């Protein structure tokens, strides 16, 4: 490989990252057509070959579709394939992230309320175990997204609602990705710590333990709102 090839590859990666950021910030919406290769090369002040390489990389991970004679279009994201260990992780746009949190507020606030009303000793124990795993992660300053997912799924299971449990399980891989991102942003924030994030989960657990449905609902809503604001702010930086 020549020096020129290495430099070209680095430039194309930078262009790819910049286009990803445009999609991530919502500047380019799903279904929208990107500017032409010529226009993008002028915009980024790079060669057309670097732009083509960047677009090919985006197509390889499913972010865009290139239609001969028509142009390059941003794909609508399929959440069912968000967490696939066999391929690079997809970037979620700001719009998709907001929509995901709308769904989470609808589902998980109600799940916490039902869990407080219907939880059994066994299901409460499962929520407690996940909470302890998060505590250990916060002490070690690890991201701890797997325990976070387990905690939220355990709450759904404590609701004793079969359909709700199925829906949460279907979302679990998506949640793992977004929880990793939110915890990473939270961890490197000067104003927030993983200990504070743990305390929010602890308040949810305590309300469920006391079978205080209104408080469980309130604690979950406050938690999801805080995480949403932290993550969206991080995406905008």
Q: What is the pLDDT of residue 235?
A: 61
Which CATH number is 67's domain given?
1.10.10.10
Residue 89 lies in a domain: no
Residue 58 lies in a domain: yes
Number of domains in the chain: 2
Q: What Rg, from alpha-carbon coordinates, does the chain have?
A: 21
Query: Which of 76, 105, 125 corresponds to the end of one domain?
Result: 76
Q: Residue 123 pLDDT > 90, yes or no?
A: yes
Residue 83 lies in a domain: no
Q: How confident is the model over 47-84, as pLDDT tens digits? A: 888 898 889 888 877 788 888 888 899 887 554 444 44
Residue 184, C-beta contacts closer than 8 angstroms, at least 6 positions apart: 143
Which CATH number is 164's domain given?
1.20.120.530
Residue 160 lies in a domain: yes
Q: Which residues of 144-183 are buried (b: 16+ CB within 10 A; e: fewer)?
A: bbbbbbbbbbbbbbbbebeebbeebeebbbbbbbbbbbbb
Regarding whether 27 and 110 lie in a shared domain, the answer is no
Regarding whether 217 and 158 lie in a shared domain, the answer is yes
**pLDDT tier, 112 (very low <50, low <70, confident <90, very high otherwise):** very high
Regarding whether 122 and 43 lie in a shared domain, the answer is no
> What percent of the chain lies above the pLDDT cut of 70?
78
Residue 4 lies in a domain: no
Compute the distance between CA of residue 64 and CA of residue 171 in angstroms, rounded to an integer.
23
pTM summary value: 0.61
> What percent of the chain lies above the pLDDT cut of 90?
35
**pLDDT tier, 85 (very low <50, low <70, confident <90, very high otherwise):** very low
Regarding whether 121 and 61 lie in a shared domain, the answer is no
Q: How confident is the model over 124-139, as pLDDT tens digits? A: 999 999 999 888 876 6
Q: What is the pLDDT of residue 16?
A: 87
Q: Could you list the residue range(s) of the whole structural domain that residue 52 is in?
A: 11-76
Residue 135 lies in a domain: yes
Q: What is the pLDDT of residue 221?
A: 97
Regarding whether 126 and 172 lie in a shared domain, the answer is yes
Regarding whether 133 and 100 lie in a shared domain, the answer is yes
Q: What is the pLDDT of residue 119?
A: 96
Regarding whether 201 and 117 lie in a shared domain, the answer is yes
Burial grade of 13 (CB within 10 A; 0-12, 13-18, 19 or more): middle
Residue 3 lies in a domain: no
Query: Which of 23, 45, 76 corresponds to the end of one domain?
Result: 76
More confident residue, 142 or 43: 43
Residue 128, C-beta contacts closer than 8 angstroms, at least 6 positions apart: 205, 209
User: Under DSSP, is residue 71 helix (H, G, I), strand (E, B) or coil?
Assistant: strand
Q: Which two tokens stand for residue 56?
A: 């090919």
Regarding whether 145 and 52 lie in a shared domain, the answer is no
The runs of H, that is alpha helices, within the chain are 3-24, 37-44, 48-60, 94-118, 121-140, 145-158, 162-187, 194-209, 213-236
Residue 82 lies in a domain: no
Q: How confident is the model over 191-229, as pLDDT tens digits? A: 456 778 889 999 999 999 999 999 999 999 999 998 888
Q: What is the pLDDT of residue 171?
A: 82
């Amino acid at each position: 490989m020549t020096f020129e090839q290495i430099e070209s590859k680095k430039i194309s990666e930078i262009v790819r990252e910049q286009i990803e950021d445009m999609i991530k910030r919502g500047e380019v919406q799903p279904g929208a057509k990107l500017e032409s290769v010529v226009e993008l090369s002028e915009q980024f002040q790079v060669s057309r070959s670097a732009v083509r390489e960047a677009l090919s990389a985006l197509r390889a991970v499913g972010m865009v579709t290139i239609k001969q004679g028509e142009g390059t279009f941003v794909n609508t994201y399929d959440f069912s394939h968000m967490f696939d260990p066999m391929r690079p992780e997809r970037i979620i746009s700001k719009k998709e992230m907001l929509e995901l949190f709308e769904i989470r507020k609808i589902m998980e606030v109600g799940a916490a309320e039902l869990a407080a009303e219907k939880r059994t000793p066994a299901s409460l124990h499962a929520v407690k175990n996940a909470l302890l795993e998060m505590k250990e992660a916060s002490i070690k300053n690890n991201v701890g997204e797997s325990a976070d997912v387990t905690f939220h799924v355990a709450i759904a299971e404590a609701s004793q609602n079969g359909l709700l449990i199925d829906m949460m399980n279907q979302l679990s891989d998506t949640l793992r990705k977004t929880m990793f991102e939110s915890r990473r942003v939270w961890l490197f924030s000067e104003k927030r710590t993983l200990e504070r994030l743990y305390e929010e989960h602890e308040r949810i657990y305590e309300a469920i333990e006391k079978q205080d449905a209104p408080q469980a609902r309130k604690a979950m809503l406050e938690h999801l709102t805080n995480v949403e604001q932290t993550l969206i702010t991080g995406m905008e930086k």
